[in-house]
Chain A
Amino acid sequence: MSSCIKKDLVIIGGGPAGMSAAVAAYDAGVRDLIILERESSLGGILKQCIHNGFGLHRFKEELTGPEYAYRYEVQVRERNIPFKTGTMVLDVSSDKIVTAMNSEDGIFTIEAKTIILAMGCRERPKGALNIAGKRPAGIFTAGTAQKFVNMNGYMPGNKVVILGSGDIGLIMARRMTLEGAKVEAVCELMPYSGGLARNIEQCLNDFGIPLMLSHTVVEIHGKDRVTGVTIAKVDENRKPIPESRKYIECDTLLLSVGLLPENELTKAAGISLDRITNGAVVDQNRQTEIEGVYACGNVLHVHDLVDFVSEEAEIAGKAAAEYINGKRGGECDVKLVTDGKVRYTVPQKISSADENVTVYFRVADVYRDIRIIVRDGENVLINKKKIKVAPGEMETVTVTPEMIRGMNGNTLSFSIENA
C-alpha cells in the first residue's frame, strides 16, 4: 500500500464518534470509506469506561461503556466497513491528503474526497497546573488510572487524593474505593462540581468520600513516591488562602482537571479553531472551514454524554455522504454569537435553511431562574425558561428554517437573561 490511494471518505478515529459517523455515511450510500484507528481495537475511550449509564437516550437502556462501543462495532462489522487499527495518522493536508502509518503498510497516503475528524480528546496534564513540589511517582490523570485499573488490572495506589471533580474523577473515586483503596478527598477549585449530580451521589456520597469545593492542591510532597499533598481553600478569585493549608497523607494524586480536544491534525490542515471549544469552527453539518472536512465528537467540543456524540457524528456522516454525491451548501451565512454567559455554541454558523438545527451550548457559571434568549438584532426568536443551567450540562435549542429565512441580519445572538 505504498502508492497513493483514493477514498471517498476517510474517518480519523474509531471511537464512538468515528464508528457512528461511518455507519451513518454507509447508510447514506457511501461505500468507498475507511476508518483509521490509533489503538489496537475499535471503541475509543469507552473501552475503559466500564461503569454504566451510557445509552439511555440512544438505546433506551443503561449500558456500560464497552457494551455501548460494542453495539457500534457490530454495526461497523455488519456493514463490512473497512477499518485499520494500530494506525497512526500523521498529517492531514488542506487539500485532503491523509498521511498515516502502521507496522504492516508502513507510511501511506490517501487522497480523500471527504474527511471526518473524530480524534476525541485527551486529559489536561499536571504540567498545565503549576503545582509546587517535586515530581515523585504516584501522580496520574484520572483516565490513566482508569486504564491501569480497568484494562490492565493494576492498582495505581492505596491512599488517594483526587484533584478535580469532573465525571472521570468521581467515577475513579468509586472505582478505587471498590478495589480497596482509601480515597481521602476530592478537591474542586470551583464552588460547584463539574460532574453530574448522580455521580456525586453514587460515587462519593455512597462511600462517604468528602467533596471539598473551592479547594485545591497547593503542594505535592514526596521524593520518589508521593507521601502527601497540601490542600488549601481558595477565595472568590481562586487564590489559595494560606491559613487554610492542610496536609493530607496519601501515596497517589489523581487529576481530573479537564479535557482538551486533540486537534493537532486539524491545525496541520490549516483549519482555525474556536478559542473556547478548542475545536474546529463548524456549520450545522459539522463541516469545518475546508469543504468536505468535518469534525464530530469530543474533538469538536467535549460532550457530557456519548449519546450526543453519536448523534453529532451521524450529522457529519450524512453530510459527508451528501457532499460526495455533489451537494454543496452555502445558501446562507448566519453567524452564532454569544454573550459570555453562554460560553460557546456548536455549530458556530448556519449555512442552510433546509432543516431544523439543534444548537448545543454551554454556560459559564451556574445560573438559576433564567431565560435562554436567541435574537436576530432586536427580534427575539427563542425564549426558553430554565430553572437552572450549569457549566457541566450541555444545553440545546432548536433553530428552525422559518427563523433563518425570516432573519433581517446575519447574526444570531445567544444570551442568558433573568426570568
Chain B
Amino acid sequence: MIRELTCIVCPKGCQLRVELCGKEIKSITGHTCRRGEEYAKTECTAPRRTLTTTAPVEGGGVVPVKTDATVPKELLFECMELVNKAYVPADAEVGYIVIENILGTGANVVTTRNVKI
C-alpha cells in the first residue's frame, strides 16, 4: 500500500510517499531532510503532535502554553481537558511547567511567555 502524506515539520510541506506492507515501512520518498523521514515513520506508526493552547491564570485571564515535546495525536483532546483545568500562578515566567509529564507522554506543558507583560 502507498500512503501519501504532507510533511508538517516545516513550512515547505513536502509531499511524502510511504510504501507500506501492513504496518511495515518498505520505503519513504519525497522528503528533503532527515526530520521529514522521521515524520513519515512516526506518522505511519504512531502519529504525534505538539499541542499549543492557553491555560487559565489565577485571578483571571489566560496564558499561552505548549507541550515541550510531541504527544500522541489521539491524546490531544484529553490533554486539552487537563490544561483547561490547570491554573498558572500570576507571576509565572516563560518556561514555567504547568503540567509535568502530561498523561505519561513524557512531555511537559510549559508557558510560552511571562504571564505579566
Task: Give me the interface of A with B, judged by CB distance under 8 Å.
Answer: 40-41, 43, 47, 50-53, 56, 62, 64, 66-67, 69-70, 149-153, 175, 178-179, 196-198, 200-202, 205-206, 304-305
A151 to chain B: which residues have CB within 8 Å?
Answer: 62
CA A52 – CA B73 in complex, angstroms?
A: 16
Q: How far is the CB of A369 from chain B (nearest CB, A)?
A: 15
- Knowing A179-B80, A196-B11, A305-B11, say if A153 contacts B94 (CB, 8 Å): no
Which of A50, A152, A198 contacts B13, CB < 8 Å?
A198
Which residues of B pack against A, CB within 8 Å? 5-11, 13, 15, 49-54, 56, 61-62, 64, 66, 73, 76-77, 80, 94, 112-114, 117
> What is the bound-complex CA distance between A56 and B5, given in angstroms?
21
Inter-subunit contact B61/A67 (CB<8 Å)? no
Most chain A C-beta atoms within 10 Å of own C-beta, residue among B15, B76, B112: B112
Smallest CB separation, A46 vs chain B (Å): 10
CB-CB < 8 A to A200: which residues of B? 6
Give 24 pairs: A residue, B residue, CB < 8 Å, sorted on A: A41-B117, A50-B52, A50-B54, A52-B52, A52-B66, A53-B11, A64-B52, A66-B94, A69-B113, A70-B113, A149-B54, A150-B62, A150-B64, A152-B61, A152-B62, A175-B53, A178-B51, A178-B76, A178-B77, A179-B53, A179-B80, A197-B13, A198-B8, A201-B5
Closest 10 CB pairs of A and B: A197-B13, A50-B64, A153-B62, A66-B113, A198-B8, A201-B6, A198-B13, A64-B112, A41-B117, A202-B8
- For A56, the chain B residues whose CB sits under 8 A away are 10-11
Report yes or no: B61 in contact with A153, Cβ–Cβ below 8 A: yes
Q: Is the CB of B10 within 8 A of A198?
A: yes
Q: For A175, what are the chain B residues with a Cβ–Cβ distance below 8 Å?
A: 53
Residues of A within 8 A of B51 (CB): 178
Contact B54 A153 (CB under 8 A): yes
Which B residues are CB-close (under 8 A) to A179? 53, 80
Q: CA separation between A2 and B13, bound complex, in Å? A: 52
A69, A197, A206, A305: the one contacting B49 at CB < 8 Å is A206
Closest to B11 in A: A196
When A149-B54, A178-B53, A201-B6 are in contact, do A66 and B11 touch as well, CB less than 8 Å?
no
Question: What residues of chain A lie closer than 8 Å to B117, measured between beta carbons?
Answer: 40-41, 43, 47
Chain B proximity of A245: nearest CB distance (Å) = 31
**CA–CA, A64 to B80, complex, Å?**
17
Q: Using known A-B contacts A50-B52, A52-B66, A178-B77, determine if residue A67 contacts B113 with beta carbons closer than 8 Å.
A: yes
B6 with A198: CB separation less than 8 A:
yes
Given A66-B64, A198-B7: 6 more A-B contacts, CB < 8 Å: A66-B112, A67-B94, A153-B54, A178-B51, A201-B5, A201-B13
Closest approach, in angstroms, between the C-beta of A157 and any C-beta of chain B? 17
Cβ contacts under 8 Å, A69 to chain B? 113
CB distance from B68 to the nearest CB of A (A): 11
Cβ distance B66 to chain A, nearest Cβ, rounded Å: 6
Q: Complex: how many Å from CA A115 to CA B73?
A: 47
